[in-house]
Amino acid sequence: MPGRKPVPVPTPETQPFFDAAARGELRIQRCLDCGEPFFYPRPCCPFCASASLEWFTTSGRATLYSYTITHRPAPGFEQDAPYAIAVVQLAEGPRMMTNIVGIDNTPDNLVLDMDLRVTFETRGDVTIPQFTPAGTEVR
């Protein structure tokens, strides 16, 4: 019997990210001193160490930077195999690890630099951003 997908536990630093995802928004942080956007959420800028940060809503657009196709699923992902564990580059610059959904995850379908858009999966009380090819509906 397949298990349940793991659910991240929000921390004080990540709670605004997950709150936004629950509203269907992909929000990341930007430094108010040097202006650099970054991901993953943290209490200070990884570029200049400033604690003067803001959250902003991204465009939800990205490109496929890298991926691996997993054929031996982690517990909870048995029904999804094979699935892609991907790194996408957000239009705003930062990269994030995610899954590619809405298409068969094969090398023919996962073309580097392909245009993607954010979509969301709710797991229990937490909503997870994932990406699908731009112009497609998630199945």
pLDDT tens digits, one per residue of 70-124: 999 999 999 999 999 999 999 999 999 999 999 999 999 999 999 999 999 999 8
- CA separation for the pair 16, 18 (Å, rounded): 6
- CA separation for the pair 114, 69 (Å, rounded): 16
- Print burial letters for 94-127: b (CB count within 10 Å at least 16), e (below 16): bbbebbbbbbebeeeebeeebebbbbbeeeeebb
Element housing 15 (H / E):
helix 15-22
- CA separation for the pair 47, 75 (Å, rounded): 36
pTM: 0.91
Beta bridge partners of 67: 86
User: How confident is the model over 10-51, as pLDDT tens digits?
Assistant: 999 999 999 999 999 999 999 999 999 999 999 999 999 999
- CA separation for the pair 67, 9 (Å, rounded): 24
Per-residue pLDDT band at 1 (split at 50, 70, 90): very low
